[in-house]
Chains A and B, each alone.
Chain A
Amino acid sequence: MSHAHTHDHDHAPEHSEVPSDPALRVKALESLLVEKGLVDPAALDAIIDAYERKIGPRNGARIVARAWTDPAFKQRLLDDATAAIAEMGFAGRQGEHMVAVENTPAVHNMVVCTLCSCYPWPVLGLPPLWYKSAPYRSRAVIDPRGVLHEFGLDLAPEVEIRVWDSTSEVRYLVLPERPAGTEAMSADELAEMVTRDSMIGAERLSAPGKGAAA
């Protein structure tokens, strides 16, 4: 990818830099499929835009915040996450079959996809690189405590760790524990503090300002 670009700047006209091999292959695929009417370029743009900016982990954070503040919704989420998430308008694509797993003081859940990188896109956006990496995919199952340690999360020995292996049929969302000291916060404020990693089970949340003067 290191394209030497140290010459020819004084020559006119300067031609467009030729894209990388994979970029050209994607352009070839897209232009051929669009010409055949197999895909609509506007639909492609909408998908890119949605996953890059609109969806993201914010949808998942809103689900978690509502579960923390609405006990009836939380029960529906744990009973049938697919229906509860659809109720909030986040259905579709690869998030159809969702299962929510609740973290408690005694149980910590974490999610992996050992086969490839199945991930609940509609609620969490695009998966982070580490989620797709071979070390995480292989080690999350055999050494979850060690993996969590590398994320900076050291769980007490008595905490049970449950590892959930996502597939193309079932995706998991971790419902993190609501941090102490957040009792006065609204659902919107709570959603702001729910991170993507906490919903994969790679992080535990603490109240904002904890450890500081607040």
Chain B
Amino acid sequence: MSTSETRIAPPLDRPAFARLPRDADGPVFAEPWQAQAFALAVRLSEAGWFSWHEWTLALGEQFRSAAARGEPDDGSRYYEHWLAALESLVTAKGLSDPAALSERKHAWAEAYRRTPHGEPVALAAAMRGT
């Protein structure tokens, strides 16, 4: 149990963590989308759309699925699992559905492609669903 794979500290000298934003106490979010995904889960739970217990079960399910796929679980994909749990719970609670999420994702990608660099990116009115 003393190989590099199981070494867990100090983590900040690992190449995989080299690009993480950090403060004196360590990394916070690697990318803004992680903080946004975090806030969405907290807010939906606060608003009563699901309990925090339901949330931990959904997140744990993503960890188990990742382990079953043989993915390394070193924390680096943590927020990808968080996001997958969020999508599954939002779908399970009927707040949205996979087709709408996929369609909206592609609409955002298209909006970025056609927006000149430096200008705010907005979805075209015609592409917004109802």
Point out the residues of chain A lying under 8 angstroms from B121, CB to CB: 16
Point out the residues of chain B lying under 8 angstroms from A125, CB to CB: 25, 28
A15 interface contact, C-beta 8 A: yes
**Stretch in A65-73, A83-91, A114-122, A205-213 touching the partner:** A114-122
* A15 and B95 contacting across the interface, CB-CB below 8 Å: no
* A129 and B27 contacting across the interface, CB-CB below 8 Å: yes
Point out the residues of chain B lying under 8 angstroms from A118, CB to CB: 56
Interface members, chain B 69-89 (any A CB < 8 Å): 73-76, 78-80, 83, 86-87
| Complex-state Cα separation, A188 to B53, whole angstroms | 36
Point out the residues of chain A lying under 8 angstroms from B118, CB to CB: 16
| Complex-state Cα separation, A157 to B86, whole angstroms | 44
Across the A-B interface, how many residue pairs have beta carbons closer than 8 Å?
A: 194
Point out the residues of chain B lying under 8 angstroms from A202, CB to CB: 9
Interface members, chain A 142-177 (any B CB < 8 Å): 143, 146-147, 150-152, 167-169
Interface members, chain A 1-28 (any B CB < 8 Å): 13-28
* A20 and B33 contacting across the interface, CB-CB below 8 Å: yes
Q: Size of chain A's interface in residues, with CB distance under 8 A?
A: 65
- Given A47-B43, A134-B73, verify A16-B117 contact (CB < 8 Å): yes
Which listed residue, A31, A39, A132, A133, touches B44 by the CB 8 Å rule? Answer: A39
* A14 and B117 contacting across the interface, CB-CB below 8 Å: yes
Point out the residues of chain B lying under 8 angstroms from A40, CB to CB: 43
Which listed residue, A16, A132, A152, A167, touches B112 by the CB 8 Å rule? Answer: A16
* A57 and B25 contacting across the interface, CB-CB below 8 Å: yes
- Given A31-B108, A38-B49, verify A19-B33 contact (CB < 8 Å): yes
Task: Write the A17-55 contact mask toward B (1 if CB under 8 angstroms, else 0).
Answer: 111111111111111110110111001110110011000
B73 to chain A, nearest CB (A): 4
* A115 and B26 contacting across the interface, CB-CB below 8 Å: no
Point out the residues of chain A lying under 8 angstroms from B67, CB to CB: 134
* B112 and A33 contacting across the interface, CB-CB below 8 Å: no
Which listed residue, B32, B47, B63, B108, touches A116 by the CB 8 Å rule? Answer: B63
Q: Which residue of B lies closest to A61 (CB)?
A: B25
- Given A16-B121, A52-B28, verify A28-B104 contact (CB < 8 Å): yes
List chain B positions with a Cβ less than 8 A from chain A: 1, 5-11, 17, 20, 25-29, 31-33, 35-40, 42-44, 46-47, 49, 52-53, 55-56, 59-60, 63, 67, 73-76, 78-80, 83, 86-87, 90, 95-96, 100-102, 104-105, 107-109, 112-119, 121, 123, 128-129
